[in-house]
Copies of this chain bind each other. A is one copy, B any other.
Amino acid sequence: MENKPHLKTLADFAAYVGGELVGDGSTEINQACNVGSDCPTGIAFAENSKYVAEAATRLLGGVIVPAETADFPKSHIKHANPRLAYLKILHFFERSRSQVSGVHPTAFVEQGGFVYDTASVGAMAFVSNDAIVCDDAILMPFAYIGPGCVVGEGSVIMPHAVLVQDVVVGQYCVVGPGTVIGHSGFGYVWDGEKQIRVPQVGGVRLGDRVEIGALTAIDRATAGQTRIDEGNKIDNLVQIAHNVELGPHGVYASGVGIAGSTKVGARAMLGGQSGYSDHLVIADGVVLAGRAAGLSSIDKPGVYGGTPAIPIADYMRSVAAYKDLPKLIKRVRTLEKEVKTLMGEA
């Protein structure tokens, strides 16, 4: 557990974030809050004049404002970067995860499952017979660690998360509640009468510092590995199909779907409910707008939108044109009449 400093007053917090206290520093602060709320023991931030004005009308314990702010009528902290200062304060107020080393008496570790001494296996968690839980890893209640899985050092498997089988989780990862990693990929062949399942014998590999939200599904590979490289951040209710490879440091918002065997480059950003179809190769630095669907490979970084996804400027033009379609049809109808008249005259 990290050791948190003892901070009590607005003056304490001003010192903590390296800002300049203006006004009464004795107010007790016990929470972070939003600038748009009344929160007399809370501290908020206001990064521009609009929010500074809003803050002035609210009952707040204190507010962090840009260093150049003049005449703010209440106690406050001036700071060169209010957002960064606030981030530090959010860290301070974050609830520590309780981590008691050892296996909870209600958990079940199968014979052959290996749990390192400083790992924590929570209430009613399950560890399979050839799974490994490394140092400082935390399994929260109801976590399921299936055969052939490894939970890396310091990683956290949240309640009801499932590592089905052959899933290797790197260091300092977070697997969110209810998320399922390593279920059989969706592969079938039609034999003329029915669908025959293609056995899926591969695994999943998460790099270090991968963070995955709630209720996301990442399937294991047909053969080889589905690969989520280091530093990726994946939101809730995302689908990553078998044999997909995600380059490092991407951000995948909720509702995204990546179909089988697609390889996405580094530093991808995918907006809500966007996705890629199968067997594509996507360059580094490609951004998909919300709802966009990439249906063919993309070899240039940039922002893409629409279905099928095209460069965002083209997409915006098409959207504008689409809204005006009924008008365009009227214009064509008018033209047709006029031309008909002209042709009659000619």
**CB within 8 Å of B: which residues of A?**
31-34, 37, 39, 42, 44, 87, 90-91, 93-95, 98, 106, 108, 110, 123-124, 126, 129, 141-142, 144, 146-148, 158-160, 162, 164-166, 176-178, 180, 183-184, 186, 188-189, 193-201, 209, 211, 213-215, 217, 219, 222-224, 231, 233, 235-237, 239, 241, 243, 249, 251, 253-255, 257, 259, 272-273, 275, 277, 290-291, 293, 295, 307-308, 310, 314, 317-326, 328-329, 331-332, 335-336, 338-339, 342-343, 345-346
Nearest Cβ distance between residue A194 and chain B, in whole angstroms? 5
A237 and B217 form a contact (CB under 8 A): yes
A224 and B159 form a contact (CB under 8 A): no
A254 and B34 form a contact (CB under 8 A): no
B331 and A336 form a contact (CB under 8 A): yes
Give Cα A223 to B200, complex, Å: 38
Give Cα A292 to B272, complex, Å: 13
Instruction: Identify A272's interface contact among B108, B201, B257, CB under 8 A.
Output: B257
Give Cα A317 to B327, complex, Å: 10
A249 and B342 form a contact (CB under 8 A): no
Give Cα A272 to B223, complex, Å: 22
Pairs across A and B, CB under 8 Å, 16 listed:
A34-B222, A90-B222, A94-B200, A108-B124, A158-B183, A162-B178, A177-B183, A188-B251, A214-B217, A214-B219, A217-B236, A254-B259, A277-B290, A290-B293, A320-B326, A331-B332
Given contacts A123-B126, A277-B272, A343 and B336 within 8 Å (CB-CB):
no
B residues within 8 A CB of A217?
A: 213-215, 236-237, 254
Copies in the complex: 3
Given contacts A141-B144, A186-B233, A237-B217, A310 and B339 within 8 Å (CB-CB):
no
B318 and A323 form a contact (CB under 8 A): yes
User: Which of A31, A147, A201, A332 has the most CB atoms of chain B within a 10 A radius of its CB?
Assistant: A201
B94 and A201 form a contact (CB under 8 A): yes
Nearest Cβ distance between residue A336 and chain B, in whole angstroms? 6
B251 and A201 form a contact (CB under 8 A): no
Nearest Cβ distance between residue A139 and chain B, in whole angstroms? 13
B residues within 8 A CB of A146?
A: 159
Instruction: Identify A291's interface contact among B93, B184, B222, B307, CB under 8 A.
Output: B307
B residues within 8 A CB of A162?
A: 159-160, 177-178, 214
A224 and B33 form a contact (CB under 8 A): yes
B residues within 8 A CB of A319?
A: 308
A199 and B329 form a contact (CB under 8 A): no
Give Cα A307 to B307, complex, Å: 11
A37 and B176 form a contact (CB under 8 A): no
A224 and B180 form a contact (CB under 8 A): no
B residues within 8 A CB of A142?
A: 126, 142, 144, 160
Give Cα A253 to B237, complex, Å: 15
Residue of B nearest to A261 (CB): B34
Give Cα A129 to B233, complex, Å: 30
B273 and A257 form a contact (CB under 8 A): yes
A90 and B199 form a contact (CB under 8 A): yes
Given contacts A214-B180, A293-B291, A314-B323, A158 and B164 within 8 Å (CB-CB):
yes
B residues within 8 A CB of A39?
A: 224
Nearest Cβ distance between residue A294 and chain B, in whole angstroms? 11
B329 and A318 form a contact (CB under 8 A): no
